[in-house]
Structure formats: C-alpha cells, structure tokens
Structure 1
Amino acid sequence: MGLASYPLKYLARKVFGDVEIGSAFEDPFFEEVEFEKRSFWSGSSKIVKKRRDKSIPDSIPQADGKILRRVRKRAYSLDMKFHIFGIRFGWLGVIGILPVVGDILVLWLSLQVYKEAMKINGGLPPTVSAQMITNIAVDFGLGLVPIVGDLVSVCYKANSRNVLVLEKHLKSKYNRLAAPVTSTKRTPVMQ
C-alpha cells in the first residue's frame, strides 16, 4: 500500500465512516470463494481463497440478471477500473479532474448507469430510485469542490453504491415473490 493512499483513506473514513466499497466490506463486483487445492506430488491439500466475478442469484430472472450484469460492468469501469497506490478509481476519477465540464460529464455518465437500472422488470420503486439519485447527487456535489472534492468523490464511488442498492432490491423483490404463501385460514371440510 502506497504512502499516498493513507491520507486519502483517512479522509474518506472521517467523511463517510467505515463504509468502504471494494475492500473487506461488501464488494459489488467480486466474491471470495474457497476451494480445496491438492498438491500433485504430495497429495496434501489446503484451502485456497480466490476472487471471482460475483454471481447473479438464481432467484433473479434472466432479463433482470442481464440488466444487473450490465450495470455492474459499467459501474466497475466508471468507479474501479484502475489501481494506483492502493486506491481503486475509474474513468469518473479521471474525467472529474476537468473543471466544470468534467463534473457535468461525470453526472451524465452516472445518470446513464441509473437509466440502465431503471429498465428492470416493473421499474424501480420510489425509495430505491431516491437512494440511487441521492448517491449520484452527493457524488456530483463532492466533485464540484476543486481538487479535494475530486479525491473524495473517487472514494465515494456512487455507481458502486448504486449497484449494491439495485442488487439488494432485486434480491428482496424476487425472494419475497418466491417465498411460499402460507394461509392461516382453515377451509371447511364438505361432508
């Protein structure tokens, strides 16, 4: 981890608390899986952890799964594509450096991710939509502050947060629909 990343992470922790995207906390793009690895020569085995692309839950229909996958892919390239000094940033961090025009372009790209998320079956409910718009607005507001705002905006990762919001909504929506409905009413028996 580079020396330059400590002040940025300290600042991000002070501003946003312990919520980090893409670290030991919930990662919207990757999951860690364990598997047993056997040695060819000795036959001994050990448990190995490896990162892989996060899978789409089986309860989510294929059409909504494709949308979630596209939103993840866009958000990853916008928020976390590059890695320098232990800090992950994406195209929004690069574009955001441009004064005013960069901030407007960042807002437009983030709204494109939101627009893609709106295509899910039945659309987004108002609460989820408000959460996603708030993340975009906070990121845009932070980006307007010269230099420091761009650095904090890189740490905020609004699109990655929106991926987590969308995934949580889809999981709860389709888990609720898949849950069996139990009735407490007793049906009278005909004689």
Structure 2
Amino acid sequence: MGLLTFPLKYIAKKVFGEVEIGSAFEDPFFEEVEFEKRSFWSGSTKIVKKRRDKSIPERVPEIDGKILRRVRKRAYRLDMAFHIGGVRFGWLGVIGILPVVGDLMILWLSLQVYREAMKVTGGLPPAVSAQMLTNIALDFGLGLIPIVGDFVSVCYKANSRNVLVLEKFLKNKYHRVAAPVAAPRRVPITQ
C-alpha cells in the first residue's frame, strides 16, 4: 500500500466500517469469468479467470438494457475512471477539489445519472427512487465537509451504488414476468 492510500482507507474504514457495495462486495461494472485455456505447445489446460464488462440480465428488455448500459458507463466515468496508488476515483473526485462549486457540480452530475435511470420503462417506484436520491444526498452532504469530505466522498461512490440499485430493481421487475403460457391446443371434433 502506498503512503497515501493507507490513511485514506483507514479513515474510510473508521467512518463507514466494512462497507460493501451490493452483496459480497459486488462490482457494479465488471464480472469475473472462468474459462479453460489450452497451451499451444503442451496441450495441457488450466482454468483462467478474466474480468469483462458486466452483462445485462437476460430478461431485461433491450430498451431498459440500453438505459442500464448508459447509466453504468456514466457512473463508471464519474466514480472509477482513474486508478492511482490503489485508490479508484473518477471525475467526481477531481471536481470535488473545488470548494463549493465542485460540490454543486458533483450534485448536478449525479442527478443526471439519476435522471437517466428514471427513463426505464414505467419509471422507478418511489422506494427505489428514494434510495437513489438518498445516496446522492449523502454523497453531497459528505462532500461539503472541508478536505476530509472529499476523500470520504471518493470512497462512498454514490453513482456506483445507484447502478447496483437500478440493476437489482430491473432484475426483480423482469424476474416476476412469467414466461408466456402456451395457448391450449384445439382438438378437432369429428362427426
């Protein structure tokens, strides 16, 4: 660990405890895939793990899938685009350095991500909408604290949390949609 990352991670752990985004530290942007790799020379195989962009859940329609993809892309740029010394941060971490104007810009950009998420078919229910707005408000409130607030805000990653909330909502929404029932067969009547 670098000289700078240890104090940041220590402070974040003290403030938030062991915070997990989603369940079991779920990554909102990438998934790990295992595949079998065969050696060209010896023919032996070994299992290799590789990260790839997270796929859209199967039952989610194309329209909502495109929205989820756009929200993921925007949230990734805002929360996790850069990697320095073991700490991932995005444009919000850079903009947050500006005292009050930066925090207002962060709020506006986070609300743009939320507005994009609201475009899903049928909109978002009030509970999901409130959860996403709470993440944004908490991030904004923490960012207003001078110096320390910017570091805590970088660790909180409200937009990444909102991506997971949206994905969970879409999975639950379209999981309940049952497969279409086949029409009953008509038996011809013979006379």
Q: Same fold (TM over 0.5)?
A: yes
Structure 1 position 20, deviation (Å): 4.0
Which residue pairs with 1:153 in the alignment?
153
Q: How does 1:35-184 map to 2 (within 5 A)?
A: 35-178=35-178
Residues 1:33 and 2:47 aligned together: no
Mapped to 2, the partners of 1:56 and 1:48 lie a distance apart of 23
Find the residue that maps to 2:120 and give its secondary structure. Answer: coil
Q: Which moved more, 1:71-80 or 1:24-33?
A: 24-33
Which residue pairs with 1:14 in the alignment?
14
CA contact (8 A) 1:76 1:160 kept: yes
Structure 1 position 58, deviation (Å): 1.0
Structure 1's consecutive aligned runs of 4 or more residues displaced over 3 angstroms after TM superposition are none
Mapped to 2, the partners of 1:2 and 1:34 lie a distance apart of 30
TM-score w.r.t. the length of structure 1 is: 0.90
Mapped to 2, the partners of 1:100 and 1:168 lie a distance apart of 33
Mapped to 2, the partners of 1:176 and 1:155 lie a distance apart of 34
How many residue pairs get aligned? The number is 180
Residues 50-70 of structure 1 show CA distances to partners (whole Å, capped at 9, x for unaligned) of 000000011000000000000
Find the residue that maps to 2:52 and give its secondary structure. Answer: strand
* Letter paired with 1:40: F
CA contact (8 A) 1:136 1:158 kept: yes
Structure 1 position 175, deviation (Å): 0.1
Mapped to 1, the partners of 2:87 and 2:28 lie a distance apart of 16
Mapped to 2, the partners of 1:15 and 1:65 lie a distance apart of 35
TM-score w.r.t. the length of structure 2 is: 0.90
* Letter paired with 2:169: H
Percent of residue pairs identical: 83
Residues 83-109 of structure 1 show CA distances to partners (whole Å, capped at 9, x for unaligned) of 001000000000010010000000000
CA contact (8 A) 1:79 1:154 kept: yes
Structure 1 position 21, deviation (Å): 4.5
CA contact (8 A) 1:89 1:154 kept: yes
Which residue pairs with 2:189 in the alignment?
none
Mapped to 2, the partners of 1:135 and 1:37 lie a distance apart of 41
Residues 126-174 of structure 1 show CA distances to partners (whole Å, capped at 9, x for unaligned) of 0000000000000000000011000000000000000000000000000
Which residue pairs with 1:4 in the alignment?
4
Give the gaps of 5 or more residues in structure 1. Answer: 182-191
Structure 1 position 39, deviation (Å): 0.5
Structure 1 position 12, deviation (Å): 1.5
Mapped to 2, the partners of 1:102 and 1:138 lie a distance apart of 15
